Amino acid sequence: MKKTWWKESVIYQIYPRSFMDSNADGIGDLKGITSRLDYLKYLGIDVIWLSPVYQSPNDDNGYDISDYQAIMKEFGTMEDFDEMLKEAHARGIRIVMDLVVNHTSDEHRWFVESRKSKDNGYRDYYIWREGKDAQTPPNNWGACFGGSAWEYDQATGMYYLHLFSKKQPDLNWDNPKVRQEVFDMMTWWCEKGIDGFRMDVISMISKTKEMPDGNVNGLYGDFSPYCVHGPHVHDYLKEMNQKVLSKYDIMTVGETSGVTPEQAKLYAGEDAGELNMVFQFEHVESDGKYGKWTDQKFPLTALKEILSRWQTELYGKAWNSLFWDNHDQPRAVSRFGNDSPQHLTASAKMLATCLHMMQGTPYIYQGEELGMTNYPFQNPQEFRDIESINAYKEWCIEGPLSYETFWPCLIYKSRDNARTPMQWDDTENAGFTAGTPWISVNPNYTEINAKKQTADPDSVFHYYKKLISLRKQYPVIVYGAYELLLKDSEELFVYTRTLEHQKLLVVCSFSENACSFRVPEEFHDAECLISNMPSSYTKETDELRPYEAFVLLKEL
């Protein structure tokens, strides 16, 4: 297996709107990020993944871009960006940009032109089709954020495709001019000195020419057989690699929802000539009851099966990302751990242990290193996210589910759980803004905040800091082979990693109760690298405390 810096790095995701506000308008911004770089340096991360900061009308908080080479007004200026990049680099921190090129905003000048007339030079930059008739879209596909995936456009009497909101028209990647525009724009950012790209829904850029109805699941037809891992996706990524990526020392990660390990080897194989790693969702997307919505915890055996399969199938062949949450997912500790005051700290540290000892590049989503939790939503007016707002309307107000059934699912899985402001300290608005925050601050900020935790050596923060430093010290954490133990346990997640003369034992209890466990004999003389509880196990221990976790290292 090749050794590379991006395999050995830990990535920290910033959702700029919610990270730090420098000018009291209630919206996080670039100067805010720059002012907190020392915090990230102290945590020890290597790379920042910056969610989109480009000019955008913010229908989907920056994932709808109207100019790829300008900064969103609310976030600052290009000078602020350059300053942030320079200050990050001065601290040895790299910055990876979010590349959203499956679609643009409908306010992008390409789309403004495209919709004008059938013979406009930009017409073929997007995907236009005739309707079945004046009132009926070309097919039954549903968009990810609700409604039909087709929007009728008055000017030319045709429909355009949007797999997300109607303000996010899909680009036509079959048009070589579109690809060249995107590659030129990427080159421009690389020349500026950025350190890589996280590629938004990159597995959806190639669509089939034929666009038949999809199987109806839920309210609309499913577009995925025709739009996900489509016919030319690998041709286009190879072309992108050859024309742009291969010319720079950057890292690339492809957001590839619905990918299988076999397909992941094509996107991120060691010698595939496409991307460095995939970011796949099987462990966070297999729990839905109504589409993605549910209020049920996922069984631990199922979670272990999924994560373990990815560990073993990609070993030595392709590279994966490790994450429990991001800006589209609920908070990890509320979903996979236990956010009651009694178990919050232990379970947050346990989850971190479980993830950071696996093979892959770990991603920390802002606030995860503090054990930030889901938000206690009381009413639908509190949502800001287009997905949550539309889902409430479509499933509940106009749709098949009662409020009693749907509300618990909505508040458990809403993306807004991840988007409440970063909790910096216990002053008003958690120190995020001196103005009115664009989305409510989680009221638990007086207890859970960065100021308190950086001062407390036993905090979740310091535990993450230690996990990050262990990764730098022990190659077995990065490159070791994985083996799952106790596969059928619904309480314990136990695995080993082995590289040359070293072997790790990783023991994590996902249970809120004590449960029995004995350290295997071969680890009786091992060293404990990290543990989330004081005075941990001995050889004689036969029980783990609720959410206990530790890692043992043995010389072979």
The contact set with Ca ion (CB under 5 A) reads 21, 23, 25, 27, 29
Which one, 28 or 360, has the nearer CB to Ca ion? 28
Q: Is 543 a catalytic residue?
A: no
How many C-beta neighbours within 10 Å does residue 143 have? 20
491 binds, among ligand TEU, Ca ion, none (CB under 5 to 8 A by kind): none
What's the closest the beta carbon of residue 130 comes to ligand TEU, in angstroms? 26
Q: Which of 59, 80, 200, 385 is catalytic?
A: 200
What's the closest the beta carbon of residue 419 comes to ligand TEU, in angstroms? 10
Spatial contact of 10 and 47, defined as CB atoms under 8 Å apart: yes
339 binds, among ligand TEU, Ca ion, none (CB under 5 to 8 A by kind): none
Burial of 332 per CB tally in 10 Å (0-12, 13-18, 19+):
buried
63 binds, among Ca ion, ligand TEU, none (CB under 5 to 8 A by kind): ligand TEU
Spatial contact of 489 and 305, defined as CB atoms under 8 Å apart: no
Spatial contact of 292 and 387, defined as CB atoms under 8 Å apart: no
**Number of Cα atoms under 13 Å in the Cβ half of residue 43:** 28
**C-alpha pair distances (Å), 329 with each of 300, 342, 412:** 18, 23, 10
257 binds, among ligand TEU, Ca ion, none (CB under 5 to 8 A by kind): ligand TEU
What's the closest the beta carbon of residue 413 comes to ligand TEU, in angstroms? 7
Q: Which SS3 state, helix, strand or coil, does residue 198 take?
A: strand
Cα gap 191→131, rounded to integer Å: 43
Which one, 100 or 149, has the nearer CB to ligand TEU? 100
Q: Is 200 a catalytic residue?
A: yes
Which one, 228 or 357, has the nearer CB to ligand TEU? 228
**Residues contributing to the site for ligand TEU (CB under 6 A):** 60, 63, 100, 144, 164, 200-201, 257, 292, 327-328, 387, 415
Which one, 193 or 258, has the nearer CB to ligand TEU? 258
Q: Which SS3 state, helix, strand or coil, does residue 18 take?
A: helix
What's the closest the beta carbon of residue 291 comes to ligand TEU, in angstroms? 9
φ and ψ at 240, to 5 degrees?
A: -65, -40
φ and ψ at 105, to 5 degrees?
A: -75, 155
The amino acid occupying position 468 is I
Q: Which of 255, 274, 385, 491 is catalytic?
A: 255
Give the residue nearest to ligand TEU (CB).
63
Which one, 139 or 366, has the nearer CB to Ca ion? 366
N-term to C-term CA, the chain: 21
What's the closest the beta carbon of residue 326 comes to ligand TEU, in angstroms? 7
Spatial contact of 530 and 497, defined as CB atoms under 8 Å apart: no
387 binds, among ligand TEU, Ca ion, none (CB under 5 to 8 A by kind): ligand TEU
| Residues belonging to the active site | 200, 255
